[in-house]
């Protein structure tokens, strides 16, 4: 039997969920025996295989058009999509921006900060993606497994991946369901 392929990526997050993934320490060796780790933000391969993967993992919320693209591509190329962490599941910290709105938040960040002089301006390069209303991943594409947490514990991540690798849908409950 071939090992299931797993790919991950991050959207508007802090990378903490991926750090928590690494926090499983030597169990990562055990995990690589169960799964074929393909693209991740911390490995050389950056995009999920065009031929598709079995499990896609997304960290972070959707805050701009680029995040939307990445999420859609991951959804298209994976069979089971995992929303990893509070930002991917709920919108998380980036979603605080929704209360004042993106424009206010950018103005505060790029123009009004105490350390900014008169030349402060909101970046407007046409190559930059456009900010959108911050949403959880499930507002853009269908999510199959929600693993909340800020960050989810290494134990929870290991449990979810080990279950998926063995063809079972994980039941995120008890200590693994921790919204913080």
Partner 1 sequence: MIQLTVNGQPVEVEAGSTILDAVRKAGFNVPTLCYHPKLVPYGSCRLCLVEVEGARTLQPSCVVPATNGQVVHTDTDKTKSAREFILSMIFSERNHFCMYCQDTDGDCVLQQAAYDEGMTHWPITPAYKPFMVDASHPDFILDNNRCILCRRCVRACTELVGNATLGFEERGSGSILIADNNVPLGESTCISCGNCEQFCPTGALIDRRSAYMGRETDLTYVNSVCMDCSLGCERVVKTRDNRLVRIDGNLDLGSNESLLCYDGRYKPVADNRKRITSPMVRRNDQLEPIGWDEALTAISVQLKAHASNEISAHISPRQPIEALSAFHEFFADHFNAEQVTLLGHDQTALTSAKLANEIGAFESDLSALKDCDIAIVLGTDLVKDHQVAGYFLKRQAMNDLKMFIANSTRTSIGDWSSNKLEYVGTDYAAVVDLLQSYAQAEDPDLPAKLQNLGFKPERAERILGQLKESQKPVIVIGKEFAKAENLPAFHKLVQLAREIGAKVVTLKGKGNNFAGALLGYKLDAQPMSTPVFYLALGDGHACDHTRDALAGSEFKIVQASYASEFTEIADVVLPCTIWAEQEGHYLTSEGKLGLNQQAIQAADGNLPVLDVMKSLANKSGLALSEAWRAAVEEKVAAIVLS
For partner 1, the binding residues (CB under 8 A) are 83, 86, 89-93, 95-96, 98-100, 133, 135-136, 138-139, 143, 146-148, 150, 172-173, 177-180
User: Which CB sits closer to partner 1, 101 or 120?
Assistant: 101
User: Which CB sits closer to partner 1, 25 or 99?
Assistant: 99
Kindly state the smallest distance separating residue 7's Cβ from partner 1, in Å.
21
Kindly state the smallest distance separating residue 12's Cβ from partner 1, in Å.
14
Going by C-alpha positions, the residue among 18, 20, 7, 97 that lies closest to residue 49 is: 7
How many beta carbons lie within 10 A of that of residue 37, not counting itself?
18
User: Which CB sits closer to partner 1, 54 or 86?
Assistant: 86
Going by C-alpha positions, the residue among 132, 151, 147 that lies closest to residue 62 is: 132
What b-and-e string marks burial along 110-125, b requiring 16 or more CB atoms within 10 Å of the CB? eeeeeeeeeeeeeeee
Residues 6+ apart with CB under 8 A from 125: none
Kindly state the smallest distance separating residue 125's Cβ from partner 1, in Å.
28
User: Which CB sits closer to partner 1, 33 or 99?
Assistant: 99
């Amino acid at each position: 039997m071939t090992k299931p392929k797993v790919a991950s990526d991050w959207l508007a997050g802090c990378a903490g969920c991926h750090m928590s993934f690494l926090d499983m320490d030597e169990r990562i060796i055990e995990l690589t025996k169960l799964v074929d780790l393909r693209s991740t933000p911390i490995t050389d391969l950056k995009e999920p295989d065009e031929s598709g993967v079995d499990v896609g993992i997304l960290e972070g919320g959707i805050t701009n058009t680029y995040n939307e693209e990445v999420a859609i591509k991951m959804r298209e190329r994976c069979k089971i999509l995992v929303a990893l962490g509070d930002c991917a599941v709920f919108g998380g910290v980036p979603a605080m921006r929704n209360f004042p709105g993106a424009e206010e938040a950018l103005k505060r960040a790029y123009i009004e900060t105490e350390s900014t002089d008169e030349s402060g301006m909101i970046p407007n390069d046409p190559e930059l993606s456009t900010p959108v209303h911050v949403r959880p991943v499930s507002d853009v594409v269908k999510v199959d497994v929600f693993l909340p947490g800020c960050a989810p514990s290494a134990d929870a991540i290991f449990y979810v991946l080990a279950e998926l690798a063995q063809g079972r849908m994980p039941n995120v409950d008890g200590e693994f369901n921790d919204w913080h």
